Amino acid sequence: MIPAQFQYAAPASIPDALALLQSNPDAKILSGGQSLIPLMKFRLAQPAMIVDLNNIGGLDYLRDEGGWLKIGALTRESQLEDSALVREKYPLLYDTTLSVADPIVRNRATLAGNLAHADPANDHPATMLAYRAQVVATGAKGNRTIPIDDFFQGLFATSLASDEILTEVQIPAPKPRSGGAYMKMERKVGDFATAGVAVQLTLDAAGKVEYIGIGMTNVGLQALRAKRSEDALLGELPTAHFIERAGLFAQQDCDPNADLRGSVEYKRNLVRVLTMRALEKAVARAKGNG
Amino acid sequence: MNVTININGKEYSDDVEPRLLLAHFIRENANLTGTHVGCDTTSCGACTVLVDDVPMKSCTMFAVQANGKTITTVEGLAQNGKLVPIQEGFHEKHGLQCGFCTPGMMLTSVAFLKKNPHPSEQEIRWAISGNLCRCTGYVNIVEAVKYAAEKMAEAQNG
Amino acid sequence: MAEAMGFGHSVKRKEDARFLRGRGNYIEDIKFPGMLWLDIVRSPFAHAKIKSINKEKALATPGVAAVITGADLVPYKLAWMPTLMSDQQMVLPVDTVMYYAQEVAAVVATSRYAAADGVAAVEVDYEPMTPVLDPHKALESTSPVIRADKQSNRIWHWEVGNRAAVDDELANADVVVAEDIYIPRIHVASIETCGCVAKWDPVEGHLTLYMTTQAPHAIRTVVALVTGHLGLMEHKIRVISPDIGGGFGGKVPVYPGYVLATAASVLTGAPVKWIEDRTENLQADSFARDYHIHGELAATKDGKITAMKMGVVADHGAFDAAANPSKFPAGLFSIATGSYDFQKAFAEVDGVYTNKPPGGIAYRCSFRVTEAVHAIERMVDVLAQKLEMDPADLREKNFIKPEQFPYKSATGWEYDSGNYKGALDKAKAMIGYDALRQEQKEKRAKGELMGIGISTFTEIVGAGPSHTFDILGIKMFDSAEIRIHPTGKVIARLGTKSQGQGHETTYAQIIAEELGIPEDDVAVEEGDTDTAPYGLGTYASRSTPTSGAATAVACRKIKDKARKIAAYLLEAREDDLEWEKGKFFVKGAPDRAKTIQEIAFAAYTNHPQGMEAGLEAVDYYDPPNLTFPFGAYICVVDIDRGTGQVKIRRFVAVDDCGTIINPQIVDGQIAGGLTMGMAPALLEEIVYDENGVNLTGSFSDYLLPTAVETPKWEMDKTVTPSPHHPFGAKGVGESATVGAPPAIANAVVDALSHLGVTNIDIPITPPKVWAILKEKGVAL
Ligand SMILES: Cc1cc2nc3c(=O)[nH]c(=O)nc-3n(C[C@H](O)[C@H](O)[C@H](O)COP(=O)(O)OP(=O)(O)OC[C@H]3O[C@@H](n4cnc5c(N)ncnc54)[C@H](O)[C@@H]3O)c2cc1C
Ligand code: FES
Ligand code: FES
């Protein structure tokens, strides 16, 4: 499996990268390369030019800043995995990262690339939906911030323009009494999800759900938000009854395809089970015992 | 494009196509054939090398991306002809059969033990889960990593 | 001086030194100046007419030296080649492609990259045809016959046993059970794929073929048979099998790529390398299994099995390119009587052509033994369920007893030795069987699903004997040639070929045991047809039973001569000498001794007059019988009612492979085998869509277990030496692959047996399990 030929550029700055993208409409951005290079090897992607971001300094940060966790475009999965901040304050992100690919791929793969690739099978999109994260797109005209709900535009499609770079991911810092969890069913390590469910929630002082986000992986053409499931819980005590309702809504609202990973019926049920389990774990974590 | 890559302490320069995979540069241009290729989908880890001390699947990186970087392959593990603990561990614990996955397994393990010098069985299993072995059933690979951890701890304390 | 260790010692592997340093010499590591690369254009259809192939763009691609099509091979009579099963197989199709990913054309270029570009530039115009994919339908009279050179899609019918007696018993028995069991298509997927470097010397008319083969000598003969008409004779062919990155049966057959590289080398005059990628490997190389089995057992109501019947439809793909002994198109499936004592058995197998890749190789087992074992071990559980008996008790009741060996089976085999109850007792004790049954009862009451599965399997390995076993007429003996140098050091060459089994160490240990020469002083060489004695190669766990035996016998021949030399040197009579590991001494005078090293020196410097100089021997060992390793495996699983996920909680494996040469290597073989048994039970399957397109052509969908999915195996042994093998060994490389799948399947079915589930076909995937839970109303 040998990629087709292409031109290669590794600019040292964002402006240089943007200039290259503008003058080469067929160019593709290369970050971790863990999605793009396999596609190129199978010649399913044959970009005329590769604009490699890896030589741009200062993009591999993780910052707790102004109520946001800010993650740079070249921050690798393994950095998230190794970060005490992520482990302690962002358990949903931590769970998700650990479920992506395998430890070696994670040394190279980026969160930004995971979102920009917009593969419904990727794990981070659902998680970002659950967090109501936002991404910063940098183009010739400067930066714009895109709420995650507006970011995914179907299979492998995002609202990024072809000459824009996703430069930063911003996750709102969870309030006290927050918890989150990612539940993924995979056939083996390194497999994409049969289905995955991301839950992030905050409880109020009375233990009622004050904030909730639920995202679903690989059960639609893009990562989906389980809105009815969220509504079912919002303002309620997260009791078995409401958790079950949320699960049922998720089962109805997802839109999976039958494939080697299972039938539509199986996947829908899986979404229900995973939603319930993720909710239980998130609640436990919010209560400080997860 | 011209690239210069330091592999195991030696510089290798060549004029290469941008599409040349790092694994092929190491094997063909640098003639270091201990790095293997076992799949097309970044799944098997037979091609794992250390790029600036971090394990990477060299089949999923272009050689031009390694320009100016420092790479360690299996050939660079032994020091002055003496096996390092992970190699000793694989030998003592029979951690290899056909040997095809072994270079990748050892390089992954070396980096892992640096991060986590006293791993549990389960942590080792997760750490090598990006490397496939078809022969051993992993039992003795896990034992080999444990052996190396102990050896390294002894060397530290002793 | 290093010490001779011999049997029972975990001698550290001699071959490790190079692998640990990245100095192995695998096929892809072999290169020559001026070498060209070959890459292959493959069919996107499972069945299609080739309307035209346009090479022009490919030939114009920088670096491309040649494009070869089927039409180009016809004048040389190379468009077809014989298979090991006396069928023929296309090297390249001339007008019709027979399966998805079939080789359609070859591109030869100056680099791997240029060759790939050339492949992308070859334009093939296909006219798709309807593929025949279901082997049952292929057997119907209305089915199109897919092979133009054949009358029917039925390749052969094979049967063994007494059909009438069995049918009679089935009609009259107290209890009869029947079950359909499918063992799907799987792939060995060694981490190293297949490949070769063909180096043709036009001046000498000599071909050196470096190739990933488990059977280099057989390959040399086959190549000579294929190319003899072109003047390439066997003495002009040298096959070298370098270090092999895992074989498991996948490197026994001859693939079109090997032939194409050879043809390309002859055509271009340059060495040509072909290395398949993983996708090609999974899509086109020989598969294993694909057996549709209908099993029936008859028994008395108190659980004595009285008869067995097995009917099989075997999907062989478009060509019968299995690698079975000639008289055994269905391999050793007739071992399906298992470890049990009953005298009425019948088995029949129909081989069928379909539009799928050819194969039928072994996947780390001896010729269809896994299929046989899976069938009988599952059927015994089905019977236990029907009789409401504990499956361990039912097995015990039917075991062949130690005193019944040698035991003649109803299908004609003579089992050499066994102690099945001994192994099962040990496994039950290790796992705490009775407590587990108690726990299961309690869990069931709470609605939790846990199962315990047993497999008490018997293998049949080590082919020959040669009166029964041959491949393309070549008898299945194997060989060893041992030379002792004047300084007492040794070179041993064998007809087998290690692919990771550790032959360089274990053969050295046999020599150490027999001659008392330290392992360190022994060099073991395999895989070069110019130097090694003729042999049939390594597969079917035959190395220790055959070449291992040959090594021992050759050592004994050497010892006979050494005794003569020692007698001469010690001025004693031969029968006054006694042997003690490494030396002869005069009875009653232990200090009057000559070491084997001293004797070796004398063999070249001071040997008795009239005796030939030198100290060496060759043995072509033809085993009097096969060997019958066995074991008892017990597996405990828990099932997640929400996801259908099966988790192996514990797995105990008690194996008996007779005499153990190197315990560490044996354990390594078993752990690896267990993992390759677990994988098809839970993960692996080659799947085609309704058009015959392979949906599992990469490691993203053909699922090899990682260390995380692999349970921590608990292993132990019993030792029942083979009575006919020179040192009692039986072979161990494959037992676990054979024994593990039914243990796992039985455990899962056991977890669900109270719901009326009697069988689940492997791989037992979460969606499959969940669908059953749903149907039975117990899914969460
Ligand atoms: C064996 C294997 C298993 C995997 N399993 C999983 C899994 O279980 N879950 C999962 O989520 N992922 C999985 N992945 C995918 C992996 O996480 C990818 O790395 C990720 O999807 C893409 O990140 P990347 O940095 O590698 O992006 P790249 O491969 O470099 O790029 C991917 C795409 O995004 C574009 N892009 C990249 N960065 C930017 C940017 N900053 N701005 C704009 N566009 C950009 C590229 O042009 C390209 O189209 C797996 C990968 C492999 C090889
Ligand atoms: S060859 Fe790189 S992961 Fe398989
Ligand atoms: S030792 Fe053969 S693949 Fe690991």
Q: Where are the domains of chain B?
A: 2-76, 85-157
Q: What is the reported pTM?
A: 0.97
pLDDT of res. C1: 56
Which chains pack against C, by 3+ Cβ pairs within 8 A? Answer: A, B
CATH class of C478-621: alpha beta
Q: A2 lies in a domain?
A: no
Closest CA to C486 of C451, C521, C520: C521
Q: What does the DSSP assignment read for C277-325? A: -HHHHHHHS--EEEEEEEEEEEE-TTS-EEEEEEEEEEE-TTS------
Judgement on whether residues A31 and A107 belong to the same structural domain of the protein: no
Cα torsion A70, A74, A78, A79 to 10°: value is -40
CA A106–ligand 1 middle distance (angstroms)? 10
On whether both A190 and A119 belong to a single domain, the answer is no
Q: Using most ligand atoms within 8 A of CB, pick from A56, A61, A111, A117 the residue to mutate for ligand 1.
A: A117
3-state secondary structure of C6: coil
CA separation, residue C618 to residues C481, C524, C556, C565 (Å): 4, 14, 10, 19
- Give the per-residue pLDDT at C230: 84
Q: What is the CA radius of gyration of chain C?
A: 27
Distance CA B106, CA B77 (A): 9
Q: Do A189 and C771 touch (CB under 8 A)?
A: no
Active site (annotated) includes residue C179 = no
- Nearest in space to A121 (alpha carbons), one of A256, A243, A265: A256
**CA gap A289, B127 in Å, rounded:** 27
Strand ranges across the sheet with A165-172:
A62-65, A68-72, A165-172, A134-139, A142-147
Q: Which fold has domain C287-463+625-775?
A: Aldehyde Oxidoreductase; domain 4 (3.30.365)
- The torsion of the CA quartet C432, C437, C441, C444, rounded to 10 degrees, works out to 90
Record: contact C644-A43, CB cut-off 8 A:
no
What integer pLDDT is reported at residue C539 of this predicted model?
85
Catalytic residue among C214, C385, C509, C669: C214
Same fold, C287-463+625-775 and C478-621: yes
> Under an 8 A CB cutoff, do A42 and B60 touch?
no
C684-739 pLDDT, tens digit per residue, is 999 999 999 999 999 999 999 999 999 999 999 999 999 999 999 998 889 999 99
Enumerate the β-bridge partners of residue C109.
C37, C64
Which regions of chain B does DSSP assign to beta strands (E)? 2-7, 10-15, 48-51, 54-57, 70-72
CATH number at residue A69: 3.30.465.10
B113-158: per-residue pLDDT in tens?
A: 999 999 999 999 999 999 999 999 999 999 999 999 999 999 988 7
Reply yes or no on whether the pLDDT at B27 is more than 70: yes
CB contact under 8 Å between B55 and A2, yes or no, is no
Q: Which CATH superfamily is domain B85-157 in?
A: [2Fe-2S]-binding domain (1.10.150.120)
Are A66 and A168 in a shared domain?
yes
From residue C134, how far is each of B63, C109, C179, C219, C320 by CA, in Å? 46, 39, 19, 32, 16
The position carrying tokens 């009425």 is C344
- Range C406-410 average pLDDT: 97
Quote the number of domains for chain A: 3
Given a cut of 90, whether residue C365 has pLDDT beyond it is: no
**3-class SS at A132?**
coil
Angle in degrees, 0-180, between the axes of helices A264-286 and C766-775, rounded to the nearest 10: 100
10 Å CB burial of residue A280 (0-12, 13-18, 19+) is middle
The predicted pLDDT at position B157 comes to: 86
The Cα–Cα gap between C735 and C337 comes to 16
Sign (positive or negative) of CA dihedral C720, C726, C732, C734? negative
Residue C116 has pLDDT above 90, yes or no: yes
Nearest to C710 among B96, B126, B137 (CB): B137
Enter the DSSP assignment of A121. T
**Rounded to the nearest whole angstrom, what is the distance from the C-alpha of residue A113 to the centroid of ligand 1?**
5
A217 neighbors A193 (Cβ within 8 angstroms): yes
Using alpha carbons, list the distances in angstroms from residue C421 to A72, C176, C376.
64, 25, 17
User: Given this model, what pLDDT does residue A26 score?
Assistant: 94
Which H/E stretch holds residue B142? helix B139-157
Interface check for A2 against chain C (CB to CB < 8 A): the answer is yes
C364 as an active site residue: the answer is yes
- CB of B63 within 8 Å of a chain C CB? The answer is no
Give the number of A-C residue pairs with CB atoms closer than 8 Å.
64
User: Ligand 3 pocket by C-beta < 6 Å: which residues?
Assistant: B 96-102, 133-136; C 191, 246, 500
Residue C464 pLDDT greater than 90, yes or no: no
Average pLDDT score over chain C: 96
The residue among C770, C772, C778 with the most chain A CBs within 10 A of its CB, best to mutate, is: C770
Least confident of C180-184, C433-437, C473-477: C473-477
Instruction: Determine the 3-state secondary structure of C592 from DSSP.
Output: strand
Q: Are C333 and C371 in contact (CB under 8 A)?
A: yes
In the numeric block, which tokens belong to residue C63?
A: 């670096």
Exposed/middle/buried for residue C687 (C-beta within 10 Å: 0-12, 13-18, 19+): middle
Q: What is the pLDDT of residue C483?
A: 98
Would the CB of B13 count as within 6 Å of ligand 2?
Answer: no
Phi/psi at C328 (5° precision): -130, 70
d(CA C763, CA C771): 14
Mean per-residue pLDDT, B105-113: 98
Choose among A171, A187, A211, A184: nearest CA to A275.
Answer: A184
DSSP conformation class of C730: -
Residues A194 and A270 in one domain: yes
CA geometry: angle at A47 spanning A42 and A51, to 5°?
Answer: 120
Cβ atoms of residues A270 and A194 within 8 Å:
yes
Query: Between vectors from CA C459 to CA C458 and to CA C460, what angle results, nearest 5°?
Result: 130
Cβ within 8 Å, pair C766-A262: yes
Tally the residues of chain A.
290
Give the DSSP H or E segment for C617: strand C615-621
State which residues form the domain around A104. 62-172
B contacts of A189 (beta carbons < 8 Å): 126, 129-130
- Do A70 and A166 reside in the same domain of the chain? yes
In the DSSP assignment, the letter for residue C632 is: E
Taking only the tens place, the pLDDT of each residue in C627-677 is 999 999 999 999 999 999 999 999 999 999 999 999 999 999 999 999 999
B67 touches chain C (CB under 8 A): no
Altogether, the residues listed in chain C come to a count of 780
Task: List, for residues B60-82, the tens digit of each pLDDT value.
Answer: 999 999 999 999 999 999 999 99
Is residue A1 one of the residues assigned to a domain? no
> Could you state, in order of their start, the residue ranges of all structural domains in chain C?
31-129+194-275, 287-463+625-775, 478-621
Residue C35's contacts (CB-CB under 8 Å, 6 or more residues apart) are: C197, C270, C271, C272, C273
Q: Which fold, C31-129+194-275?
A: Aldehyde Oxidoreductase; domain 3 (3.90.1170)
Mean pLDDT computed over C271-288: 97
Which residue from C360, C348, C340 is spatially nearest to C294, judged by alpha carbons? C348
- Residue whose structure tokens are 């491949």: C471
Please give the single-letter amino acid code of residue C150.
K
Distance CA B36, CA C344 (A): 52
**C649 is annotated as an active-site residue:** no
Closest B-chain CA to A188:
B129
Q: Which has the minimum average pLDDT: A245-254, C68-77, C218-227?
A: C218-227
List the single residue in A185, A189, A269 with the smallest CB-CB distance to C708.
Answer: A189
B45 lines ligand 2 (CB under 6 A): yes
- Alpha carbon C174 to its chain's center: 39
The gap from C-alpha C65 to its chain's centroid, in whole angstroms, comes to 37
| Interchain pair B60, A190: CB under 8 A | no
> Is the link from the previous residue into C406 a cis peptide, with omega within 30 of 0?
yes
The CA B98 to ligand 3 mean position distance, Å, reads 5
Nearest Cα to B38, choosing from A143, C637, A129, C189? C189
Any idea what DSSP says for residue C548? I
Q: Could you tell me whether strands A49-52 and A27-30 are parallel, antiparallel, or unpaired per DSSP bridges? A: parallel
Backbone CA torsion sign across B80, B84, B90, B92: positive
In the annotation, is C542 catalytic?
Answer: no
Confidence of residue A8 (pLDDT cuts 50, 70, 90): very high
Chain B residues with CB under 8 Å of A41 CB are 21, 40
- Which residue among A172, A196, A212 closes a domain? A172
Identify all chain C residues contacting B39, using CB atoms and an 8 Å cutoff.
278, 698-699
- What is the C-alpha to C-alpha distance for residues C290 and C352, in angstroms, rounded to an integer? 11
Q: Are strands A7-9 and A49-52 parallel, antiparallel or unpaired?
A: parallel
Answer whether B103 contacts ligand 2 (Cβ < 6 A).
no
Which one is predicted more confidently, C1 or C118? C118
The backbone torsions φ and ψ at residue C343, rounded to the nearest 5 degrees and listed phi first, read -110, 5
Q: What is the ipTM of this complex?
A: 0.98
Q: Is B102 helix (H, G, I), strand (E, B) or coil?
A: helix
Cβ neighbours for B82, distance < 8 A, ≥ 6 positions apart = none
Q: What's the average model confidence in pLDDT over C526-547? A: 90
Query: Quick check: C705 and A188 CB within 8 A?
Result: yes
Is B38 a pocket residue for ligand 2 (Cβ < 6 Å)? yes
Minimum-distance CB partner of B75 among C21, C29, C706: C21
Nearest CA-CA distance, residue C501 and chain B, Å: 6
Domain final position from A157, A172, A187: A172
pLDDT band at A164 (very low <50, low <70, confident <90, very high): very high
Encoded tokens for C553: 């016998």
Chain B contacts in chain A segment 231-290 (CB below 8 A):
none
> Regarding predicted confidence, which is higher, A155 or C225?
A155
Q: Enumerate residues 6+ apart whose C-beta is below 8 A from A5.
A: B17, B18, B19, C117
Q: How does pLDDT run across C239-269, given as a tens digit for each residue?
A: 999 999 999 999 999 999 999 999 999 999 9
A189–C706: do the CB atoms touch at under 8 Å? yes
Question: What is the reported pLDDT for C542?
Answer: 87
Domain final position from A172, A200, A225: A172
> B2-76: which CATH number, 3.90.1170.40, 3.10.20.30, 3.40.50.720, 1.20.1420.20?
3.10.20.30
**Cα–Cα distance, C502 to C511 (Å, whole number):** 14
Largest interatomic CA distance in chain C: 88
